[in-house]
């Protein structure tokens, strides 16, 4: 296949960009599973944007910078905040139906925000966004969306028969057509990674199984700069389910909007504790709340704390949080009468492929948007509900950049694509074995998650990180050896990406010998601005 624009991923970043690019070019979107399956689809709280008279851009900027603990790129923060209202309009134009009261958007509150500014669709914001964007795409003649196409690797100089240039550049991808089992090449003028985050490197995560960090791993292999991978956000309140088994690591989220509406955290014996950690109590930024819960659980030896929703009232709970109400009820908890057992779980990958303010990576013709990136917006800790916003704003930036280029360079791009069709090697798996070693794959996957959860979680230290490094390095080498002689499958590709991303998190964490935002080192408990007021960048 060939196309002007190849978008990898069908979450908010990929779909909103595809719709905009289709105004002037042919777009292929590929996605590794069923089209709505994405982190976006599970987003609950909403999108942060300044939409009320009582709010101000400067306040949203201040909240974001404070949360990011000194290393946000202020220009990137300003960009998402100032373009926020326009992005909400774009989503509405695409058909998203947000919650309203008397015609005006209802604005919720979440941790770290000094004003009510979270635009939402009850507690199913992401599902509503996916529905709207996918329905627009289904009637768009310039967009072809292929489900069950798994991007394996980016096509770069090393995949060309006649080498073109020394600087890293991208010409499309190799993708596994999951239904036929064949690897196909897709040649593209521009390739955009919108593959989301990597919560699946941990045992317990709010992320669905697709979140295996494929884009970050592919970008790393292709020579992209990977930044700030040590900053993994743990959401303080995932539902604690005694029946969770290890085969499914996705846990159900209890949105921060529930605390925004008045719920408070309590110990197992029913006592409030957050006032001992931060003056904003249960609505402090996530790093503080997650660490406080972790510390309370360690003190009490209990496997969870409670979220008490009594102050919200039964009627409001059922009306504004119908999804959370139904889920908890199905697990035996009536939230209008009982407290909810909650624990922190891996939630958001703040680091990723480094981009500039136009969404460009350091590899020519390769762009990235959404959770796969490090744009400078989140710094050491993401402010709640800033990620859907970041994805919309940076996809829009890519659209603007490509629109300009389209009209000036159209014929050059077409010639390039024509020439590349015969110049890119086909995928060659002659002599490769079909694996029957499923036990090896599933054991490795479990071990990666265990190492990350045990040694690279909310509280870290040098000894734990060194141990994690040794184990992950060994697994990485073993998996590479196995990969090099085996025909690809989804399970094997995901395992290869998981181990790569886990390794990047560990290496980045080892480089930051201080505590900042989400990265807390018990042997370096203090923030060290003299040495670490900077991004951690790793390049292959």
H/E stretch holding 341: strand 340-349
Match 């910078």 to its residue by tokens: 65
Q: Which residue stretch of 131-139, 154-162, 194-202, 471-479 sits at the interface with ligand FAD (rule: CB under 6 A)? A: 194-202
- The reply to whether 351 sits near ligand FAD by the rule CB under 6 A is no
Smaller CB separation from ligand FAD, 67 or 521 = 67
Cα atoms found within 13 Å of the Cα of residue 150, Cβ hemisphere only: 23
Segment 201-230, which members bind ligand FAD (CB under 6 A)?
206-207, 210, 214
Residue 375 lies near ligand SIN (rule: CB under 6 A): no
Q: Which is nearer to ligand FAD, 205 or 309 (CB)?
A: 205
User: Pick from 83, 230, 256, 371: which binds ligand SIN (CB under 6 A)?
Assistant: 256
Look up residue 66 and give its two tokens.
């404070």
Active site residue 364: no
Work out what residue 200 binds among ligand FAD, ligand SIN, none; the CB cut-off runs from 5 to 8 Å by kind: none
398 binds ligand SIN (CB under 6 A): no
- Could you count the other beta carbons within 10 Å of the beta carbon of residue 280? 15
Sign for the pseudo-dihedral over CA of 258, 260, 262, 267 = positive
Cα–Cα distance, 513 to 464 (Å, whole number): 13
By CB under 6 A, is residue 64 in contact with ligand FAD? Answer: no
Which residue, 241 or 256, has its beta carbon nearer to ligand SIN? 256
Give the nearest distance from C-beta 531 to ligand FAD in angstroms: 30
Residue 396 burial by CB count (10 A; 0-12/13-18/19+): exposed, middle or buried?
buried
Q: Does 10 bind ligand FAD (CB under 6 A)?
A: yes
Query: Is 111 among the residues that bind ligand FAD (CB under 6 A)?
Result: no
Say whether residue 501 binds ligand FAD (CB under 6 A).
no
DSSP 515-528: -BTTBEETTB-S--
Smallest gap from Cβ 257 to ligand SIN, in A, equals 5
Task: Compute the least distance from the CB of residue 71 to ligand SIN, in Å.
Answer: 19
Binder of ligand SIN out of 194, 324, 384, 493 (CB under 6 A) = 384
Of 78, 117, 136, 286, catalytic: 286
- Looking at 350-390, which runs of residues are DSSP E strands? 352-354, 366-368, 373-374
- Residues in contact with 53: Cβ distance below 8 Å, sequence separation at least 6, in sequence order: none
Which residues, including other chains, have CB under 8 Å from residue 529's CB and lie 6 or more apart?
A: 70
Provide long-range contacts, Cβ within 8 A and 24+ apart, for 420-423: 420/2, 420/160, 420/171, 420/172, 420/187, 421/2, 421/187, 422/161, 423/160, 423/161, 423/162, 423/164
Q: State the binding string over 29-58 for ligand SIN (x if CB under 6 A, else -).
A: ---------------xx-------------
Q: Name the residue nearer to ligand FAD (CB basis): 123 or 510.
A: 123
| 8 Å CB contact between 483 and 195 | no
Give the nearer residue to ligand FAD in terms of CB position, either 192 or 288.
192
265 within 8 A of 306, measured Cβ to Cβ: yes
Q: Which is nearer to ligand SIN, 4 or 256 (CB)?
A: 256
Q: Does 515 bind ligand FAD (CB under 6 A)?
A: no
Q: CB of residue 474 vs ligand FAD: minimum separation in angstroms?
A: 25
Does 257 contact ligand SIN by CB under 6 A?
A: yes
Taking alpha carbons only, the member of 312, 390, 308, 405 closest to residue 357 is 390
Nearer to ligand SIN, 257 or 472 (CB): 257
Using CB under 6 A as the binding criterion, the count of chain residues that bind ligand SIN stands at 8
β partners of residue 341: 306
Determine contact, residues 350/228, Cβ cutoff 8 Å. Answer: yes
In this structure, the number of other CB atoms found within 10 A of the CB of residue 370 comes to: 32
What 8-state DSSP symbol labels residue 312?
G
Q: Which CB sits closer to ligand SIN, 3 or 255?
A: 255
Per CB under 6 A, the segment of 258-266, 269-277, 368-376, 401-409 that binds ligand FAD is 368-376
Out of 17, 19, 20, 44, the only residue in the binding site for ligand FAD (CB under 6 A) is 44
User: Does 255 engage in binding with ligand SIN (CB under 6 A)?
Assistant: yes
Cβ proximity to ligand FAD: between 369 and 413 the closer is: 369
Residue list 143-182, contact with ligand FAD (CB under 6 A): 150-151
| Distance in Å, CB of 73 to ligand SIN, minimum | 19
Of the candidates 271, 229, 149, 157, the residue with the CA atom closest to the CA atom of residue 511: 229
Max alpha carbon distance in the chain (Å)?
Answer: 70
Q: Is 59 exposed, middle or buried (0-12, 13-18, 19+ CB in 10 A)?
A: middle
The tokens describing 421, both together, are 């069709």
43 binds ligand FAD (CB under 6 A): yes
Residue 390 binds ligand SIN, judged by CB under 6 A: no
Query: Does position 287 bind ligand SIN by CB under 6 A?
Result: no
**Interface with ligand SIN, residue 83, by CB under 6 A:** no
Q: Compute the Cα dihedral for 143, 10, 438, 152 and give only its sign.
A: positive
- Interface segment toward ligand SIN; rule CB under 6 A; list 168-176, 254-262, 277-285, 438-446: 254-262
Residues that bind ligand FAD (CB under 6 A): 8-14, 30-33, 37-40, 42-47, 125-126, 150-151, 194-196, 206-207, 210, 214, 253, 348, 370-372, 385-388, 391
- Annotated catalytic residues are 286
* Residues binding ligand SIN (CB under 6 A): 44-45, 255-257, 384-385, 387
């Amino acid at each position: 296949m060939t196309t002007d624009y190849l978008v990898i991923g069908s979450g908010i970043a990929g779909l909103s960009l595809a719709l905009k690019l289709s105004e002037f070019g042919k777009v292929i979107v590929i996605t590794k599973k069923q089209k709505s399956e994405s982190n976006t689809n599970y987003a609950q709280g909403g999108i942060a944007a300044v939409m009320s008279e009582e709010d101000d851009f400067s306040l949203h900027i201040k909240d974001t910078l404070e949360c990011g603990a000194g290393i946000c790129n202020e220009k990137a923060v300003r960009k998402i905040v100032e373009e926020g209202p326009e992005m909400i309009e774009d989503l509405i134009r695409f058909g998203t139906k947000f919650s309203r009261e008397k015609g005006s958007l209802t604005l919720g509150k979440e941790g770290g925000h000094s004003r009510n500014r979270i635009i939402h669709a009850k507690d199913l914001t992401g599902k509503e966004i996916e529905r709207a964007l996918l329905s627009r795409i289904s009637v768009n003649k310039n967009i072809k969306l292929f489900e069950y196409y798994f991007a394996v690797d980016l096509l770069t100089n090393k995949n060309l028969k006649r080498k073109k240039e020394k600087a890293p550049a991208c010409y499309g991808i190799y993708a596994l057509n999951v239904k036929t089992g064949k690897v196909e090449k897709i040649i593209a003028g521009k390739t955009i990674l919108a593959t989301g985050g990597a919560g699946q490197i941990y045992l317990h995560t709010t992320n669905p199984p697709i979140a295996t960090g494929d884009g970050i791993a592919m970008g790393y292999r292709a020579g992209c700069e990977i930044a700030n991978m040590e900053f993994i956000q743990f959401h303080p309140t995932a539902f604690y389910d005694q029946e969770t088994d290890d085969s499914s690591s996705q846990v159900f989220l209890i949105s921060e909007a529930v605390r925004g509406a008045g719920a408070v955290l309590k110990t197992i014996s029913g006592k409030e504790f957050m006032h001992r950690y931060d003056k904003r109590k249960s609505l402090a930024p996530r790093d503080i709340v997650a660490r406080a819960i972790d510390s309370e659980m360690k003190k009490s030896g209990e496997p969870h704390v409670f979220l008490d929703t009594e102050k919200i009232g039964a009627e409001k709970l059922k009306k504004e949080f119908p999804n959370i109400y139904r889920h908890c009820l199905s697990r035996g908890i009536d939230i209008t009468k009982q407290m909810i057992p909650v624990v922190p779980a891996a939630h958001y990958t703040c680091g990723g492929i480094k981009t500039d303010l136009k969404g460009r990576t350091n590899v020519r013709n390769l762009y990235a948007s959404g959770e796969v990136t490090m744009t400078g917006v989140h710094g050491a800790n993401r402010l709640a509900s800033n990620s859907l916003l970041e994805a919309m704003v940076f996809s829009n930036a890519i659209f603007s950049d490509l629109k300009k280029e389209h009209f000036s360079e159209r014929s050059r791009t077409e010639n390039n694509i024509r020439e590349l069709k015969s110049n890119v090697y086909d995928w060659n798996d002659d002599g490769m074995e079909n694996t029957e070693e499923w036990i090896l794959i599933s054991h490795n996957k479990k071990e990666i998650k265990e190492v990350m959860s045990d040694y690279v979680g909310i509280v870290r230290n040098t000894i734990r990180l060194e141990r994690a490094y040794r184990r992950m390095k060994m697994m990485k080498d073993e998996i590479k050896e196995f990969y090099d002689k085996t025909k690809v499958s989804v399970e094997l590709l995901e395992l290869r990406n998981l181990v790569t991303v886990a390794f990047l998190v560990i290496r980045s964490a080892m480089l930051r010998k201080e505590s900042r935002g989400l990265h807390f080192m018990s042997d370096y408990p203090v923030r060290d601005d003299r040495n670490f007021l900077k991004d951690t960048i790793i390049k292959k």
